[in-house]
Structure 1
């Protein structure tokens, strides 16, 4: 159980850096997990448990995306508050279709822009392997 807590803490940690490949793989996982949360919410007619479970899954997805966005922005030598703006804009984009298109471009931009080649104030250059 202690190992599970450490792994969960590491996944939700905001500091550090993340390479492009890890960002894309984590983003795909978050989309999948969020999709399962949406399906669970749609099962509210079966049980309120699924509705609550769905919202918990989506809340986890939002926090996880904040963590990976923060690390990816750190790899570009940007401050953490940009990740908070990123998440706030993503939530607003649910209701504003034009902003949703912009957010897709932002996510693609974060996936394509190379990070700092050397160490920056957020840490050493991340390994070139995929970290989930």
Structure 2
């Protein structure tokens, strides 16, 4: 009987200590909503700017608000091409673009490569292009 209790305790410790979370995973945040008009404006400006920069027509088919390492992003896909835009809350608590985006095809499957961080893009062994826009928030809620 003692061995059965010990086995259950050991099993409970192993189960609680194991984590399925991967540092490469991004969390979809249901509580962080980006207004439709704001999302449309961000994506429209990015499509125009990135198309001009790359010389390839970019049309985003899908986008999601994600939290990666405690920061909020809008990630948009155009085929295998991915653009990640840093977001922040304005003084009213609404999500807005921070004005920095990073685009890639080579690192499109990674949650942590080629994403905006401190005004630049994190490293990516391949293509990673930084884009800035005039939509940068003038005031961020604290």
- Assess same fold via TM > 0.5: no
Greater share of helix: 1
Which of the two has higher C-alpha Rg? 2
User: What TM-score does the superposition give when structure 1 sets the normalisation length?
Assistant: 0.25
